[in-house]
Amino acid sequence: MSDASLSNDPHSTPELRRRDATHHIHPFSDTGALNKEGSRVIVQGEGCWITDSEGNRLLDGMSGLWCVQIGHGRPEIADAVHRQMSKLSYYNTFFKTTHEPAIELAERLARLAPAGLNHIFFTGSGSESNDTVIRMVRTYWDLMGKPEKKTIIARQNAYHGSTVGSASLGGMSGMHAQGGMPIPGIVHIPQPYWFGEGGDQDPDAFGRWAAQELARAIEEQGPETIAAFIAEPIQGAGGVIIPPDSYWPEIKKVLAAHDILFVADEVITGFGRLGTWFGSDYFGLEPDLMSIAKGLSSGYLPIGGVMVSDRIADAFIEKGGEFTHGFTYSGHPACCAAALENLRIIEEEGIVERAAEIAPYLQEGWLSLGDHPLVGEARMVGLVGALELVPAKPDRSIRFDNTGAVGTLCRDHSLKNGLIMRATRDSMIIAPPLVISRGEIDMLVERARKTLDDTAEDLRRDGRLKP
């Protein structure tokens, strides 16, 4: 083969990049900039590792996108999906029909979910789950004869998805700026982000203040108009924001004092991430509705759902009438088969217990990075954590100019060092597969430290960090 024909190989990395740039618009990307730089082409995944088209092996510190609980490439899931597809590849669950994978998955989830959540509405994603939440809580109050209860309280800098409804629940101002969001009837309160917004208060006082913001918003809007409060037990995409210890107990008090529904968005915290089956188990929350996706199938196929309490399900069942909502792929048999096999693996291999067991080891390593001159705070619960990068520790109020630039620089160093971390503003985030080993944790921490050193060196060279 001549050199010319080689370079025309449609599967060569440069050709794949060129073809990608020509036709593919990426999510959450600056497509113009990306097309110039070229995408990284991922070709394989195995356990906690992925391989790109240039043969680099990267330790996947983000479980894909917070979802690959059991690690990449488990053949049992492929086999289970193959078996299901060979028998019934698709049928809907709309017109008085059902099928065994949906029945079995609904049953399994009712057993695993926190007490009282015995029903599920299937969706194809976390975004669809949260859109379903909006319609379900408003319809619930209609059924209860309280149609004035329509407003949903959510939090600034929350992430609940990218459809118009779910992004409206979300509190990301950059998202609201594109496409006319939020939709009416959604109110955002401050987040319990002590490191960034705690000012002079100690964490517990700040946590109580942030929780009381819910009470304040309820009073301001009028309690009779509030349908629900939605929150992630730990904010993921917002920067792994772990509330102060005082926050959830105080929120529970506020919720108990009012007749409003509580929705836990467990799309990240579900299925073992915190070393418990759900974040609600970890924090002792009692949601009326619970959104799930991601770890439900370990991301192998797209599936999500809303877990529904008896109280709400009974209203829909007893008061009758059609709930005019659903998706072509609600309860897709192949996706249900993938989820069932994923849950079988998690249960039979004790992966949630294993996550709880190994979490202190990861935490010890991760929190040790807090002594680095660039790290203002290292935090972690279960197997999800963040590092806040700052120019002048220990002063939390001084941040880098041009928010996000240092995070991006650090992320690029991390990739070069063979570790996938995510950058949110100027904090670095990890959420590795729950099956990560001690040896892999050692590697993760070592590579993260080298990454911080490399980043600090660059910043000292150009004067953004004191020598």
Ligand X SMILES: *Cc1c(COP(=O)(O)O)cnc(C)c1O
Task: Beginning with the edge strand found earlier in the chain, give each strand of the sheet holding 49-52 in spatial order.
Answer: 42-46, 49-52, 57-60, 419-420
Among 278, 325, 255, 332, residue whose Cα is nearest residue 89: 332
173 CB burial (10 A radius; 0-12, 13-18, 19+)? exposed
Give the interface segment with ligand X, choosing from 11-19, 119-127, 172-180, 307-315 (CB under 6 A).
Answer: 119-127
Residues with Cβ < 8 Å from 37, sequence gap 6 or more?
none
Comparing every residue's Cβ against ligand X, the nearest one is 126
CB-wise, 101 or 126, nearer to ligand X? 126
- Candidates 35, 69, 125, 191; binder of ligand X (CB under 6 A) is 125
Confirm if 89 and 334 have CB atoms less than 8 A apart. yes
- Is residue 127 at the binding interface for ligand X, with CB under 6 A as the rule? yes
Q: How far is the CB of 249 from ligand X (least distance, A)?
A: 22
CB of 130 to ligand X, least distance (A): 6
Shorter beta-carbon distance to ligand X: residue 297 or 455: 297
* Near ligand X by CB under 6 A: residue from 126, 270, 382, 407: 126
Q: How far apart are CB 308 and ligand X at their closest, in Å?
A: 17
Q: Which residues of 6-37 are buried (b: 16+ CB within 10 A; e: fewer)?
A: eeeeeeebeebbeeebeeeeeeeeeeeebbee
Determine the interface stretch with ligand X among 240-248, 261-269, 364-372, 383-391 (rule: CB under 6 A). Answer: 261-269
- Does residue 161 interact with ligand X by CB under 6 A? yes
166 vs 417 by CB, closer to ligand X: 166
Closer CB to ligand X, residue 265 or residue 440?
Answer: 265
Q: Is 268 in the site for ligand X (CB under 6 A)?
A: yes
Stretch that binds ligand X, among 121-129, 181-189, 254-262, 417-425 (CB under 6 A): 121-129
Return the number of the residue (233 or 365) whose C-beta is nearest ligand X.
Answer: 233
> Is 121 a residue that touches ligand X (CB under 6 A)?
no
At its nearest, how many Å lie between ligand X and the CB of residue 292? 9
**In contact, 239 and 424? CB cutoff 8 Å:** yes
Q: Which is nearer to ligand X, 70 or 465 (CB)?
A: 70
In angstroms, the CA 440 to CA 419 distance is 11
Contacting residue, 134, 211, 267, 346, with ligand X by CB under 6 A: 267
Instruction: Give CA–CA dist 213/231, Å, rounded.
Output: 13
Q: For the CB of residue 121, give the shortest distance to ligand X in the complex, in Å.
A: 15
Whether the ω angle into residue 182 lies within 30 degrees of 0, i.e. cis, is: yes
Q: Which residues of 424-435 are buried (b: 16+ CB within 10 A; e: fewer)?
A: bbbbbbbbbbbb
- The secondary structure element, H or E, covering residue 5 is helix 3-7
The answer to the question of residue 376 lying near ligand X (CB under 6 A) is no
Min dist CB 135 to ligand X, Å, is: 16
Out of 60, 250, 265, 281, point to the residue binding ligand X (CB under 6 A).
265
CB-CB neighbours of 4 under 10 Å: 7
Which one of 149, 160, 273, 372 is in contact with ligand X (CB under 6 A)? 160
Q: Least distance in Å: CB of 236 to ligand X?
A: 4
Contacts (CB under 6 A) with ligand X, residues 293-332:
293, 304
159, 206, 283, 300: residue in contact with ligand X (rule CB under 6 A)? 159
**Distance, first Cα to last Cα, the chain:** 53
Residue (67 or 409) nearer to ligand X, CB: 67
Pairing mode, strands 226-231 and 151-155 = parallel
Which strands sit side by side in the sheet containing 375-381, from one edge to the other? 375-381, 384-389, 427-430, 422-424
Distance CA 264, CA 448 (A): 31
Write down the least CB distance from residue 304 to ligand X, Å. 6
Q: How far is the CB of 85 from ligand X (least distance, A)?
A: 22
Taking CA atoms, 34 is separated from 21, 22, 30, 123, in Å, by 8, 11, 6, 31
**Dihedral angle, C-alpha 241, 245, 247, 253, nearest 10 °:** 150
Nearer to ligand X by C-beta: 122 or 159? 159
Residues 226-255, one symbol each (x = binds ligand X by CB under 6 A, - = not), give ------x---xx------------------
Which residues here bind ligand X, judged by CB under 6 A?
66, 125-127, 130, 159-161, 232, 236-237, 265, 267-268, 293, 304
